[in-house]
Amino acid sequence: MRAIEKATRSELDTLPEQSRSSALAAVALDLARRLDGDPADTAAVLLARELRQTLAYLHGRQPEDLGGEVERFLGRIAASDVGDAED
């Protein structure tokens, strides 16, 4: 299990059982595995967005309110991509 899947599982563990065993939770894990697969930049952005929205929905929050491990990790990825683009 790689970093994003591990962080996503950790985030899902904080949810009630009904949410953890939902189809949407399975989608979140699939998105995390795809991100761990080192997709191209454009695909990574889309997958990260979908993962963020999926987890936010599972938490019953707006995407910008989600402050879990995955969100912080994905924020660091986005920040490092911006730095690479300026070179």
What are the pLDDT digits (tens) for 20-71?
Answer: 888 899 999 999 999 999 888 888 888 998 998 898 888 885 455 545 666 6
pLDDT tens digits along 57-81: 888 854 555 456 666 666 766 666 5
Q: Give the whole-angstrom CA distance, residue 25 versus residue 55.
A: 8
Q: Phi/psi class of residue 38: alpha, beta or left (left: φ > 0; alpha: ψ in -120 to 50)?
A: left
The answer to whether residues 36 and 3 touch, using CB atoms and an 8 Å cutoff, is yes
Instruction: Indicate the number of domains in the chain.
Output: 1
The domain in which residue 79 lies consists of: 3-85
